[in-house]
């Protein structure tokens, strides 16, 4: 089974920065997309950012200009650099890996807590 191990969450003050890491048990190139989602209490899970196997990226409007998704091919790791954090960014952040062809497969990490508070 595919495992996605997330790390980097924690407590940070408003305006601070944090970097999350997602290390899949399989090659990141095994997936068409690797992305970060988040879920806050009482809210639906929402897409934060994703990176396709060809390197193209996409961001939710609420993080555009603040967050950056990237990958280190040698380390087989996808990162989410989060800058200018606000309390509204507080959530559990989950890594997601998606295969779209030849058959759809989707995998989720267990999540890492990000808390933005003074």
- What DSSP string runs through 3-52? -EEEE--EEE-TT--EEEEEEESS-GGGSSEEEEEEE-TTS--EEEEEEE
State the pLDDT at residue 58. Answer: 97
99 has a pLDDT exceeding 90: yes
Sheet with 18-24, strands from edge to edge, namely 4-7, 18-24, 77-82, 67-72
pLDDT in tens, 45-58: 999 999 999 999 99
Asked if 8 and 23 count as a contact pair (C-beta separation under 8 A), the reply is no
């Amino acid at each position: 089974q595919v495992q996605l191990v997330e790390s980097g969450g924690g407590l940070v003050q408003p305006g601070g920065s944090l970097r999350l890491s997602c290390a899949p048990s399989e090659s990141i190139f095994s997936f068409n997309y690797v992305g970060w989602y988040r879920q806050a209490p009482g809210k639906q899970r929402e897409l934060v950012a994703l990176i396709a196997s060809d390197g193209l990226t996409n961001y939710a409007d609420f993080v555009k200009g603040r967050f950056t998704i990237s990958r280190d091919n040698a380390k087989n790791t996808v990162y989410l650099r989060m800058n200018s954090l606000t309390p509204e960014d507080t959530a559990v952040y989950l890594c997601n890996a998606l295969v779209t062809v030849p058959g759809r497969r989707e995998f989720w990490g267990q999540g890492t807590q990000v808390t933005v508070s003074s």
